[in-house]
Amino acid sequence: MHIGSSLALCFQATVFSILVSLILVYSSPLPVLQPLANTLSKLRYLPLTGITFYLAMLVSNARTMQISVLVIFMSLYFITSLLAVLKDVPAEEIDHARSLKCTRWEVLWEVIIKGRLDYVIDVLRQNLAMTWMMLVTVESILVAAGGLGVLIKNSDKFMNHGRIVALQLVILLVGLLLDWLLRATRKSLFKYSTF
Amino acid sequence: MATTALAYEQKGIILHVENLSVSYGDKAIIRDINFSEKDTVRPNRQQGQIIAFLGRSGRGKSTLFRALTGLEKPATGRVLIPDLSKTVTNGQQPAKQVQEGDVGFVNQKYTLFRHKTVYNTLLFALRKTTLSAPEKHEKIMQYLSDWGLDACKDQFPNFLSGGQRQRTAILEQLLSSGHYMVLDEPFSGLDIGNIMNVKKSFQLINESHELNTIIFSTHDIELAVELADSIYILGYKEENGQLGSVGTILKHFDLKQMGLAWQDCFTGQHLECVQMIKDLMLKS
């Protein structure tokens, strides 16, 4: 039940943050949004404690609080990684699309979005490791919503080290499974992806 | 062995470049580029044009090519091609300024969409035509067969050999742009087999329509003299005894007029031409 709760939290936060990040990053070539994307990327150095303080004033529900903290945390890292993916798109690929009479929207769709979807999955996979690690901290901050983090916190409180190690192993294995699943998804959905 | 000049006739202008200059910021890269090419017709033969641009590195060949394809906005001047969508008036085909996509562009890396198979690449290239879906399929299959790509039609670019990738990139641009094709150093870094493949691709394009025009650059002067019927030398002009820093056309070699174009073998006259080009390039 606790694994399910943690996975559900992770899934919800991932979906929201990837949506927010993708929209922002894909729009970042617009001069208005570029400074915003760059500023948000730099905010990844902001401590989580600072964020939770302000969020606590806005959100009352424990689950929403957990999701919000994770979404903010993940989005800042996603934005950073996705901006790097966008920056690495070779100019020749843009020129190639333009030489085929592609409109700006077609260039965005074919080169940036469709042409880099496998990179997005890989960014997700790489950042998920950090998120999965954060998940335990976030869950232990807000005990009421349950999850693996709560179990670890309770075990720590009663000095139950054997249980802590067991839970750590469970967290590690579930994390590795998620990593493998994402890698397998990328490989099977994007046959052209060779990295 | 001396060459015999082959008969030909020149019709309307197919490419007109007028006072073209391109700058990046304050730095002028090319300046005062002027040339015209005409549709060349040979008796009992369907044949397009092959134009080569030669010049030392950094003389603005790639910049000129970007301007010719409409990918780079010129600082001054214009590039005109016939507007085939309009009807001929007073025996003249109306002209239009070149736009992105009017002239196919194949870069040195033979860039393709990494997420499209060969078939889907060609289908995408035909998306703006008025052909029906079955007609597009038939046309693609015909080209794939003619160009020896039918076996790899469902493969992604990452899994194609160098030669297959080149042919796909050239074919894609040919289907999308129509008659004009610019290739930036298509022979760079290729082994002899792939050079032969590209030469064969040139031949296929050249023989498929009289308006088909291939413009390419290379550092292989012999190859340019062998393949092209018109060669332009791009380089720095000498100004006040000093070499300038802006690329421009130094000389035009009309190999048709010189009797060197379309010959089956490479003769002493070809070698003389190669030597003249080398001397000119060394001074530029």
Q: Is A16 on the interface with B (CB under 8 A)?
A: no
pLDDT at A142 over 70: no
Of B105, B159, B172, the CB nearest to A95: B105
Higher pLDDT, A133 or A85: A85
ipTM of the complex: 0.87
CB-neighbour burial class of residue B164 (10 A; exposed 0-12, middle 13-18, buried 19+): buried
Residue type for position A77: Y
Q: How far is CA B78 from CA A39, A101, B12, B69, B99, in A?
A: 42, 19, 18, 11, 11
Nearest CA in chain A to B115: A115
Structure confidence at residue B3 (pLDDT): 65
Average pLDDT over residues A69-98: 92
B93: which 2 tokens?
Answer: 């085909």
Higher pLDDT, A146 or A82: A82
List per-block mean pLDDT (blocks of 10 residues) for chain B, which spans 284 residues.
Answer: 73 92 93 94 86 95 95 95 86 88 92 96 95 96 92 95 90 90 90 86 88 94 94 91 91 93 89 95 90
Structure confidence at residue B9 (pLDDT): 83
Structure confidence at residue B246 (pLDDT): 94
Q: Which residues of B touch A187 (CB under 8 A)?
A: none
CB atoms within 10 A of CB A144: 11
CA distance B156 to chain A (A): 6
Structure confidence at residue B73 (pLDDT): 93
Structure confidence at residue A19 (pLDDT): 93
Residue A10 confidence class, pLDDT cut points 50, 70, 90: confident
Structure confidence at residue B234 (pLDDT): 96
Alpha-carbon span A166 to A164, nearest angstrom: 5
CA distance A49 to chain B (A): 42
Alpha-carbon span B39 to B62, nearest angstrom: 24
pLDDT at A118 over 80: yes
A44: which 2 tokens?
Answer: 């990844």
Of A96, A100, A192, the CB nearest to B115: A192
B101/A98 touch (CB, cutoff 8 Å), yes or no: yes
- Which of A88, A94, A96 should be substituted to probe chain B, the one whose Cβ sees the most B Cβ atoms within 10 Å? A96
Structure confidence at residue A114 (pLDDT): 94
Of A93, A101, A114, the CB nearest to B111: A93
Average pLDDT over residues A67-74: 87
Q: Order of strands, edge to edge, in the sheet holding B95-97? A: B95-97, B76-82, B9-24, B27-41, B242-253, B230-239, B49-54, B213-217, B180-183, B103-106
Of B100, B101, B107, the CB nearest to A92: B107
Average pLDDT over residues A66-78: 88
Structure confidence at residue A9 (pLDDT): 86
pLDDT at A156 over 90: no
Q: Which residues of A touch B112 (CB under 8 A)?
A: 96
Q: Is A63 on the interface with B (CB under 8 A)?
A: no
Average pLDDT over residues A83-111: 93
Q: Which contacts of B255-259 are long-range, i.e. CB under 8 A and separated by 24 or more positions?
A: B255/B225, B255/B228, B255/B229, B255/B230, B255/B231, B256/B5, B256/B6, B256/B8, B256/B40, B256/B229, B256/B230, B257/B5, B258/B5, B259/B3, B259/B4, B259/B5, B259/B6
Q: How many CB pairs under 8 A join A and B?
A: 58
Q: Which residues of B touch A99 (CB under 8 A)?
A: 69, 71, 100-101, 103-105, 173, 176-177
Structure confidence at residue B126 (pLDDT): 96
